Amino acid sequence: MIEINSISEMKKITKELKNNKKIGFVPTMGYLHKGHLSLLEISKKLSDVSIVSIYVNPKQFLLGEDFEKYPRNIEHDRKLLIDSNCDILFIPNDNEMYPDNFLTYVSVDKISKILCGASRPGHFDGVTTVVLKLFNIVNPALAVFGEKDYQQLVIIEKMVNDLNLDIKIISGPIIREPDGLAMSSRNVYLSKEEREQATCLYKSLVLAQDMVKNNIRKTKKIISAITDFINKFNLAKIDYIKIVNNETLEEITDIEYKGRLMLAVKFGKTRLIDNCELSIE
Ligand code: AMP
Protein backbone atom coordinates (compact mmCIF):
# COMPACT_ATOMS: atom_id res chain seq x y z
CA MET A 1 0.00 0.00 0.00
CA ILE A 2 1.28 3.44 -0.79
CA GLU A 3 0.36 6.43 1.31
CA ILE A 4 -0.17 9.90 -0.13
CA ASN A 5 -0.58 13.14 1.78
CA SER A 6 -0.31 15.81 -0.86
CA ILE A 7 -3.25 16.73 -3.09
CA SER A 8 -1.06 17.45 -6.12
CA GLU A 9 0.69 14.11 -5.81
CA MET A 10 -2.62 12.27 -5.48
CA LYS A 11 -3.96 14.04 -8.58
CA LYS A 12 -0.84 13.19 -10.54
CA ILE A 13 -1.02 9.50 -9.65
CA THR A 14 -4.73 9.13 -10.40
CA LYS A 15 -4.40 11.03 -13.68
CA GLU A 16 -1.86 8.46 -14.85
CA LEU A 17 -3.75 5.48 -13.41
CA LYS A 18 -7.00 6.52 -15.02
CA ASN A 19 -5.60 5.88 -18.51
CA ASN A 20 -5.80 2.12 -18.12
CA LYS A 21 -7.17 1.33 -14.64
CA LYS A 22 -10.58 1.56 -13.04
CA ILE A 23 -10.25 3.49 -9.78
CA GLY A 24 -12.52 2.61 -6.85
CA PHE A 25 -12.75 5.06 -3.95
CA VAL A 26 -13.85 4.74 -0.31
CA PRO A 27 -13.90 8.03 1.60
CA THR A 28 -13.79 7.72 5.41
CA MET A 29 -13.05 9.68 8.55
CA GLY A 30 -10.82 6.89 9.87
CA TYR A 31 -10.93 4.94 13.13
CA LEU A 32 -11.74 2.11 10.81
CA HIS A 33 -13.93 -0.89 11.58
CA LYS A 34 -15.41 -3.79 9.65
CA GLY A 35 -18.07 -1.51 8.15
CA HIS A 36 -15.41 0.57 6.41
CA LEU A 37 -13.46 -2.53 5.37
CA SER A 38 -16.59 -4.06 3.82
CA LEU A 39 -16.78 -1.02 1.51
CA LEU A 40 -13.14 -1.54 0.54
CA GLU A 41 -13.96 -5.17 -0.32
CA ILE A 42 -16.75 -3.97 -2.62
CA SER A 43 -14.40 -1.47 -4.25
CA LYS A 44 -11.75 -4.16 -4.78
CA LYS A 45 -14.27 -6.44 -6.48
CA LEU A 46 -15.45 -3.72 -8.85
CA SER A 47 -12.23 -1.89 -9.71
CA ASP A 48 -8.53 -2.34 -10.51
CA VAL A 49 -7.11 0.08 -7.94
CA SER A 50 -8.75 0.92 -4.61
CA ILE A 51 -8.10 4.18 -2.80
CA VAL A 52 -9.24 4.81 0.77
CA SER A 53 -9.13 8.32 2.17
CA ILE A 54 -8.99 9.21 5.82
CA TYR A 55 -9.95 12.77 6.60
CA VAL A 56 -11.85 14.09 9.61
CA ASN A 57 -13.57 16.89 7.75
CA PRO A 58 -13.96 19.94 10.00
CA LYS A 59 -16.65 21.44 7.73
CA GLN A 60 -19.18 18.75 8.54
CA PHE A 61 -19.02 19.25 12.31
CA LEU A 62 -21.17 21.96 13.84
CA LEU A 63 -19.84 24.30 16.48
CA GLY A 64 -19.85 22.41 19.78
CA GLU A 65 -19.87 18.97 18.11
CA ASP A 66 -17.16 16.35 18.60
CA PHE A 67 -14.61 17.42 15.93
CA GLU A 68 -11.74 17.74 18.41
CA LYS A 69 -12.43 14.52 20.21
CA TYR A 70 -13.52 12.45 17.19
CA PRO A 71 -11.60 9.15 17.62
CA ARG A 72 -8.40 8.90 15.60
CA ASN A 73 -5.85 6.08 15.31
CA ILE A 74 -3.92 6.30 12.07
CA GLU A 75 -1.42 3.56 13.04
CA HIS A 76 -4.21 1.05 13.57
CA ASP A 77 -6.07 2.17 10.42
CA ARG A 78 -2.90 1.82 8.34
CA LYS A 79 -2.41 -1.74 9.61
CA LEU A 80 -6.02 -2.72 8.87
CA LEU A 81 -5.76 -1.33 5.34
CA ILE A 82 -2.47 -3.10 4.63
CA ASP A 83 -4.00 -6.37 5.90
CA SER A 84 -6.99 -5.76 3.63
CA ASN A 85 -4.77 -5.15 0.58
CA CYS A 86 -5.76 -1.56 0.04
CA ASP A 87 -3.71 -0.08 -2.83
CA ILE A 88 -3.54 3.59 -1.89
CA LEU A 89 -4.23 5.42 1.35
CA PHE A 90 -4.85 9.14 0.96
CA ILE A 91 -4.58 11.32 4.07
CA PRO A 92 -4.85 14.98 3.12
CA ASN A 93 -4.21 17.72 5.66
CA ASP A 94 -6.42 20.62 6.73
CA ASN A 95 -4.12 23.35 5.40
CA GLU A 96 -4.26 21.94 1.90
CA MET A 97 -7.93 20.98 1.98
CA TYR A 98 -9.12 24.28 3.40
CA PRO A 99 -6.57 27.06 3.03
CA ASP A 100 -7.43 30.34 4.78
CA ASN A 101 -8.98 31.81 1.63
CA PHE A 102 -11.38 28.88 1.05
CA LEU A 103 -14.86 30.18 0.11
CA THR A 104 -16.75 27.58 -1.93
CA TYR A 105 -19.49 25.22 -0.71
CA VAL A 106 -21.63 22.65 -2.45
CA SER A 107 -25.16 22.31 -1.17
CA VAL A 108 -27.87 19.85 -2.17
CA ASP A 109 -31.17 21.60 -1.47
CA LYS A 110 -34.15 20.17 0.46
CA ILE A 111 -32.94 16.64 1.23
CA SER A 112 -29.96 18.08 3.13
CA LYS A 113 -32.24 20.01 5.46
CA ILE A 114 -34.46 17.23 6.76
CA LEU A 115 -33.83 14.29 9.14
CA CYS A 116 -30.18 14.57 10.30
CA GLY A 117 -29.91 17.87 8.41
CA ALA A 118 -32.62 19.37 10.62
CA SER A 119 -30.80 18.31 13.79
CA ARG A 120 -27.39 19.26 12.38
CA PRO A 121 -27.92 22.32 10.14
CA GLY A 122 -25.09 22.71 7.62
CA HIS A 123 -23.70 19.23 8.26
CA PHE A 124 -24.49 17.88 4.80
CA ASP A 125 -23.10 20.98 3.06
CA GLY A 126 -19.81 20.09 4.73
CA VAL A 127 -20.18 16.50 3.55
CA THR A 128 -20.99 17.32 -0.09
CA THR A 129 -18.25 19.94 -0.24
CA VAL A 130 -15.55 17.56 0.98
CA VAL A 131 -16.82 14.63 -1.09
CA LEU A 132 -16.81 16.70 -4.29
CA LYS A 133 -13.30 17.91 -3.47
CA LEU A 134 -12.15 14.33 -2.86
CA PHE A 135 -13.82 13.17 -6.08
CA ASN A 136 -11.95 15.87 -8.01
CA ILE A 137 -8.65 14.87 -6.42
CA VAL A 138 -9.04 11.08 -6.64
CA ASN A 139 -10.87 10.98 -9.97
CA PRO A 140 -12.56 7.62 -9.33
CA ALA A 141 -14.73 5.63 -11.73
CA LEU A 142 -16.75 4.47 -8.74
CA ALA A 143 -17.12 5.38 -5.08
CA VAL A 144 -18.55 3.20 -2.32
CA PHE A 145 -20.71 4.55 0.53
CA GLY A 146 -22.40 2.72 3.39
CA GLU A 147 -26.15 2.46 3.86
CA LYS A 148 -25.41 3.15 7.51
CA ASP A 149 -25.51 6.83 6.55
CA TYR A 150 -28.49 6.41 4.28
CA GLN A 151 -29.36 10.09 3.96
CA GLN A 152 -25.75 10.89 3.08
CA LEU A 153 -25.83 8.20 0.38
CA VAL A 154 -29.01 9.65 -1.19
CA ILE A 155 -27.60 13.20 -1.05
CA ILE A 156 -24.35 12.15 -2.73
CA GLU A 157 -26.23 10.27 -5.44
CA LYS A 158 -28.25 13.44 -6.03
CA MET A 159 -25.13 15.61 -6.20
CA VAL A 160 -23.50 13.23 -8.69
CA ASN A 161 -26.61 13.28 -10.86
CA ASP A 162 -27.30 16.98 -10.64
CA LEU A 163 -23.71 17.96 -11.36
CA ASN A 164 -23.21 15.35 -14.13
CA LEU A 165 -20.24 13.68 -12.49
CA ASP A 166 -18.98 10.55 -14.23
CA ILE A 167 -18.77 8.55 -11.02
CA LYS A 168 -20.81 5.49 -10.20
CA ILE A 169 -22.05 5.50 -6.62
CA ILE A 170 -22.22 2.03 -5.07
CA SER A 171 -23.86 1.33 -1.73
CA GLY A 172 -22.76 -1.24 0.84
CA PRO A 173 -25.01 -2.84 3.48
CA ILE A 174 -24.80 -1.94 7.18
CA ILE A 175 -22.30 -4.07 9.09
CA ARG A 176 -23.38 -4.76 12.66
CA GLU A 177 -21.99 -5.97 15.98
CA PRO A 178 -23.18 -9.45 17.04
CA ASP A 179 -25.99 -7.88 19.11
CA GLY A 180 -27.21 -5.81 16.15
CA LEU A 181 -25.71 -2.40 16.93
CA ALA A 182 -24.53 -0.81 13.68
CA MET A 183 -20.75 -0.44 13.73
CA SER A 184 -19.68 3.17 14.07
CA SER A 185 -16.49 4.98 15.05
CA ARG A 186 -18.61 6.90 17.57
CA ASN A 187 -19.66 3.75 19.47
CA VAL A 188 -16.49 4.13 21.58
CA TYR A 189 -18.09 7.15 23.25
CA LEU A 190 -20.78 4.96 24.84
CA SER A 191 -20.56 3.99 28.51
CA LYS A 192 -21.17 0.35 29.40
CA GLU A 193 -24.83 1.05 30.26
CA GLU A 194 -25.37 3.19 27.16
CA ARG A 195 -23.77 0.50 24.99
CA GLU A 196 -26.17 -2.09 26.39
CA GLN A 197 -29.20 0.12 25.80
CA ALA A 198 -28.00 1.17 22.33
CA THR A 199 -29.26 -2.15 20.96
CA CYS A 200 -32.73 -0.55 21.13
CA LEU A 201 -32.09 0.96 17.69
CA TYR A 202 -31.59 -2.39 16.00
CA LYS A 203 -34.42 -3.93 18.02
CA SER A 204 -36.66 -1.12 16.75
CA LEU A 205 -35.81 -1.97 13.15
CA VAL A 206 -36.73 -5.60 13.78
CA LEU A 207 -39.94 -4.55 15.54
CA ALA A 208 -40.94 -2.40 12.55
CA GLN A 209 -40.12 -5.15 10.06
CA ASP A 210 -42.24 -7.59 12.09
CA MET A 211 -45.14 -5.14 12.10
CA VAL A 212 -44.96 -4.79 8.32
CA LYS A 213 -44.84 -8.58 7.99
CA ASN A 214 -48.03 -8.64 10.10
CA ASN A 215 -49.73 -6.39 7.55
CA ILE A 216 -49.50 -3.13 9.44
CA ARG A 217 -49.08 -0.48 6.77
CA LYS A 218 -49.80 2.80 8.57
CA THR A 219 -46.48 4.43 9.31
CA LYS A 220 -48.02 6.40 12.20
CA LYS A 221 -48.79 3.14 13.96
CA ILE A 222 -45.29 1.75 13.43
CA ILE A 223 -43.63 4.98 14.57
CA SER A 224 -45.81 5.09 17.67
CA ALA A 225 -44.90 1.50 18.60
CA ILE A 226 -41.18 2.23 18.16
CA THR A 227 -41.45 5.46 20.14
CA ASP A 228 -43.02 3.57 23.06
CA PHE A 229 -40.39 0.86 22.78
CA ILE A 230 -37.38 3.20 22.79
CA ASN A 231 -38.85 5.31 25.59
CA LYS A 232 -38.58 2.25 27.85
CA PHE A 233 -34.77 2.65 27.71
CA ASN A 234 -34.04 5.32 30.30
CA LEU A 235 -30.75 6.51 28.74
CA ALA A 236 -32.17 6.86 25.21
CA LYS A 237 -33.47 10.19 23.96
CA ILE A 238 -35.21 10.08 20.57
CA ASP A 239 -34.05 12.68 18.07
CA TYR A 240 -36.30 11.47 15.25
CA ILE A 241 -38.13 8.40 14.02
CA LYS A 242 -39.39 8.71 10.45
CA ILE A 243 -40.52 6.45 7.67
CA VAL A 244 -39.64 7.92 4.29
CA ASN A 245 -39.61 7.23 0.59
CA ASN A 246 -36.37 5.40 -0.24
CA GLU A 247 -35.37 7.85 -2.96
CA THR A 248 -36.89 11.24 -2.15
CA LEU A 249 -36.64 10.86 1.65
CA GLU A 250 -40.13 12.36 1.90
CA GLU A 251 -42.25 11.07 4.76
CA ILE A 252 -44.87 8.55 3.76
CA THR A 253 -48.15 7.73 5.51
CA ASP A 254 -48.55 4.15 4.27
CA ILE A 255 -46.16 1.46 3.20
CA GLU A 256 -47.58 0.59 -0.18
CA TYR A 257 -44.58 -1.15 -1.62
CA LYS A 258 -41.55 -0.11 0.37
CA GLY A 259 -40.18 2.62 2.58
CA ARG A 260 -37.22 3.33 4.80
CA LEU A 261 -37.28 3.59 8.55
CA MET A 262 -34.82 6.24 9.74
CA LEU A 263 -33.81 6.58 13.38
CA ALA A 264 -31.64 8.96 15.36
CA VAL A 265 -31.35 8.42 19.11
CA LYS A 266 -29.09 10.18 21.59
CA PHE A 267 -27.32 8.53 24.51
CA GLY A 268 -25.90 11.38 26.52
CA LYS A 269 -23.90 13.42 23.99
CA THR A 270 -23.58 10.50 21.57
CA ARG A 271 -26.03 10.54 18.68
CA LEU A 272 -26.58 7.17 16.99
CA ILE A 273 -28.32 6.61 13.68
CA ASP A 274 -29.68 3.49 12.03
CA ASN A 275 -32.09 2.60 9.26
CA CYS A 276 -33.61 -0.26 7.34
CA GLU A 277 -35.87 -0.92 4.43
CA LEU A 278 -39.47 -1.79 5.19
CA SER A 279 -40.88 -3.71 2.26
CA ILE A 280 -43.89 -5.78 1.42
CA GLU A 281 -42.74 -9.07 0.03
P1 AMP B 1 -17.26 7.54 8.35
O2 AMP B 1 -15.83 7.18 8.57
O3 AMP B 1 -18.12 7.35 9.55
O4 AMP B 1 -17.43 8.90 7.70
O5 AMP B 1 -17.82 6.50 7.29
C6 AMP B 1 -17.18 6.30 6.06
C7 AMP B 1 -18.05 5.39 5.21
O8 AMP B 1 -18.24 4.15 5.90
C9 AMP B 1 -19.45 5.97 4.93
O10 AMP B 1 -19.83 5.65 3.61
C11 AMP B 1 -20.30 5.22 5.93
O12 AMP B 1 -21.65 5.11 5.54
C13 AMP B 1 -19.62 3.87 5.96
N14 AMP B 1 -19.95 3.12 7.17
C15 AMP B 1 -19.83 3.54 8.46
N16 AMP B 1 -20.28 2.60 9.31
C17 AMP B 1 -20.69 1.55 8.56
C18 AMP B 1 -21.25 0.27 8.85
N19 AMP B 1 -21.50 -0.11 10.09
N20 AMP B 1 -21.55 -0.54 7.82
C21 AMP B 1 -21.32 -0.15 6.55
N22 AMP B 1 -20.79 1.04 6.19
C23 AMP B 1 -20.48 1.88 7.19
* pLDDT, tens only, 38-75: 999 999 999 999 999 999 999 999 999 999 999 999 99
Give the atom of ligand 1 at the shortest distance from the alpha carbon of 184: 16
pLDDT at 36: 98
Q: At what angle do helices 199-213 and 219-231 cross, to 10 degrees?
A: 150
Rounded to an integer, the average pLDDT of 137-148 is: 98
pLDDT at 125: 98
* pLDDT, tens only, 2-21: 999 999 999 999 999 999 99
- Around Cβ 86, how many Cβ atoms within 10 Å? 24
pLDDT at 152: 98
pLDDT at 132: 99
Q: At what angle do helices 7-17 and 123-138 cross, to 10 degrees?
A: 50
pLDDT value at 80 more than 90:
yes
pLDDT at 25: 99
Q: Put the strands of the sheet holding 236-244 in their side by side order.
A: 236-244, 258-267, 270-279
Read off the amino acid at residue 37.
L
pLDDT at 223: 98
Rounded to an integer, the average pLDDT of 108-113 is: 98
Give 234 Cα–ligand 1 centroid separation in angstroms: 27
Rounded to an integer, the average pLDDT of 192-199 is: 98
Exposure of 198 in the CB half-sphere (CA atoms within 13 A)? 28
Give 280 Cα–ligand 1 centroid separation in angstroms: 27
Q: Is the CB of 183 under 6 A from ligand 1?
A: yes
pLDDT at 112: 98
What confidence tier does 199 reach under pLDDT thresholds 50, 70, 90? Answer: very high
Look at ligand 1, atom 7, and give the residue with the nearest C-alpha.
28
pLDDT value at 234 more than 90:
yes
Active site residue 36: yes
Give the atom of ligand 1 at the shortest distance from the alpha carbon of 39: 22
Mean pLDDT over each residue of the chain, to the nearest integer: 98
* pLDDT, tens only, 171-187: 999 999 999 999 999 99
Q: Is the CB of 151 under 6 A from ligand 1?
A: no
pLDDT value at 281 more than 90:
no
Backbone angles phi, psi at 70, to 5 degrees: -55, 130
CA distance 219 to 214: 13
- Around Cβ 241, how many Cβ atoms within 10 Å? 21
Go through 124-145 and write b for each residue having 16 or more CB atoms within 10 A of its CB, e for each that does not: bbbbbbbbbbbbebbbbbbbbb
Read off the amino acid at residue 189.
Y
Q: Is the CB of 260 under 6 A from ligand 1?
A: no
